[in-house]
């Protein structure tokens, strides 16, 4: 049995415009309580331009006919082709927040007020919800992975200093870890979309022009991935080749501490 639910509303009735706070952690209530049987909301986020900034939106169910509910959030970044991320929440999900950030900074001259980041919320109609902006937050690992590409010279100096103070193997190992984390964080959105698109195409025998355009967008987004993958493999190879030097340095440091 298949059932369809229809939500009729005016074009601008369910649009919420939010300006991303830069140095604020205050909570801001966007919607105190949604009306009954509301299914769709669009949140337009302006001034979200840097990857280091992250916004969290809490969707809290206030009253439900049934304890079970499902919420789907769709994040779209207009200046990144093919970038769409989905977040699914339910009554079994512990964290009822949707985190919104951008994978790369805005291009020069791009106006986020005209084409902002979009968060679409697809709500379960039997429930009423409270939607609020919790603030700007970001895990430490994401902060580190975003600082690495912004300050390559500084991290190069740090790794050279580590190599001089300890040995080259330690510096190469740290450089490989940071490079892998940065690469994974940069291309995770493209890879997720590319994998999901290929899985969906396995169930369909015919292809059309729309699928060809989507595949071209994914190819454009992933065009630099082979180069970065080669560089990462070179770093890992050099790290493995310097394992003997690293082991010798660790043993010498241990004996130095023992004799001192």
**For 88, phi and psi rounded to 5 degrees?**
-110, 130
pLDDT of residue 12: 81
User: Which pLDDT tens digit goes with each residue over 27-42?
Assistant: 788 989 888 888 889 9
Q: Which tens digits make up the pLDDT trace of 118-138?
A: 999 998 888 888 999 876 555
DSSP-assigned states of every residue in 148-195 = HHH-HHHHHHHHHHHHHHS-HHHHHHHHHHHHHHHHHHHHHHHHHHHH
Q: Is the pLDDT of residue 206 over 50?
A: no
Q: How far apart are the C-alpha atoms of 159 and 156, rounded to whole Å?
A: 5
In the chain the domains, ranked by start, together with CATH numbers, are: 15-138 (2.60.120), 141-258 (no CATH)
Would the pLDDT of 92 be above 90?
Answer: no
Quote the pTM value. Answer: 0.53
| Percentage above 70 pLDDT, the chain | 73
**pLDDT confidence band for 213 (50 / 70 / 90):** very low
- pLDDT-based confidence at residue 75 (cuts at 50, 70, 90): very high
| Distance (Å) of CA 166 to CA 162, 169, 232, 245, 256 | 6, 9, 22, 10, 13
Non-local CB neighbours of 29 within 8 Å, separated by 6+ positions: 130, 131, 132, 133
Q: Binning pLDDT at 50, 70 and 90, where does residue 117 land? A: very high
pLDDT in tens, 46-74: 988 887 778 889 988 888 877 788 889 99
Long-range contact set of residues 183-187: C-beta below 8 Å, sequence gap at least 24 = 183/228, 183/229, 183/232, 184/145, 185/103, 185/142, 185/145, 185/146, 186/103, 186/104, 186/149, 187/221, 187/222, 187/225
The residue among 185, 186, 193, 182 whose CA lies nearest residue 217 is 193
The reported pLDDT for the residue numbered 25 is 58
* Residue 59: CB atoms within 10 Å: 22
Q: Share the mean pLDDT of the chain.
A: 77
Residues, the chain, total?
A: 260
For tokens 């379960």, the residue is 124
Locate the DSSP E strands across 14-69.
15-19, 28-31, 40-46, 55-64
Q: What torsion do the CA atoms of 217, 218, 223, 225 make, to the nearest 10 degrees?
A: 160
Q: Could you tell me the pLDDT band of residue 248, with boundaries at 50, 70 and 90?
A: confident
CA distance 215 to 200: 12
Q: How far apart are the first and last CA of the chain?
A: 78
> For residue range 141-200, what is the model confidence (pLDDT) as tens digits?
555 555 555 556 666 777 778 777 778 888 888 888 888 887 877 777 666 666 666 666
Query: Above 70 in pLDDT, residue 95?
Result: yes
pLDDT category of residue 109 using cuts at 50, 70 and 90 = confident
């Amino acid at each position: 049995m298949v059932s369809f639910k229809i939500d009729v509303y005016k074009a601008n009735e369910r649009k919420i415009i939010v300006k991303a706070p830069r140095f604020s952690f205050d909570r801001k209530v966007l919607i105190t309580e949604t009306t009954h049987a509301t299914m769709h909301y669009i949140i337009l986020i302006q001034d979200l331009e840097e990857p280091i900034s992250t916004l969290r939106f809490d969707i809290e169910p206030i009253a439900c006919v049934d304890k079970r509910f499902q919420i789907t959030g769709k994040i779209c970044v207009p200046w990144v082709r093919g970038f769409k991320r989905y977040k699914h929440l339910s009554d079994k999900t512990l964290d009822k927040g949707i985190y919104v950030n951008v994978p790369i900074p805005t291009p020069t001259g791009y106006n986020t007020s005209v084409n902002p980041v979009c968060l679409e919320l697809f709500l379960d109609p039997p429930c009423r919800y409270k939607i609020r902006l919790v603030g700007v937050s970001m895990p430490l690992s994401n902060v580190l992975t975003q600082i690495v590409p912004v300050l390559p010279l500084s991290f190069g100096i740090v790794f050279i200093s580590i190599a001089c103070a300890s040995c080259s193997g330690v510096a190469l190992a740290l450089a490989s870890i940071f490079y892998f984390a940065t690469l994974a964080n940069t291309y995770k959105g493209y890879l997720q979309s590319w994998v999901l698109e290929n899985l969906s195409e396995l169930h369909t025998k015919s292809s059309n022009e729309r699928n060809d355009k989507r595949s071209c967008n994914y190819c454009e987004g992933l065009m630099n991935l082979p180069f970065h993958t080669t560089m990462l493999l070179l770093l890992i190879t050099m790290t493995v080749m310097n394992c003997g030097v690293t082991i010798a340095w660790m043993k010498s440091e241990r004996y130095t501490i023992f004799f001192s």
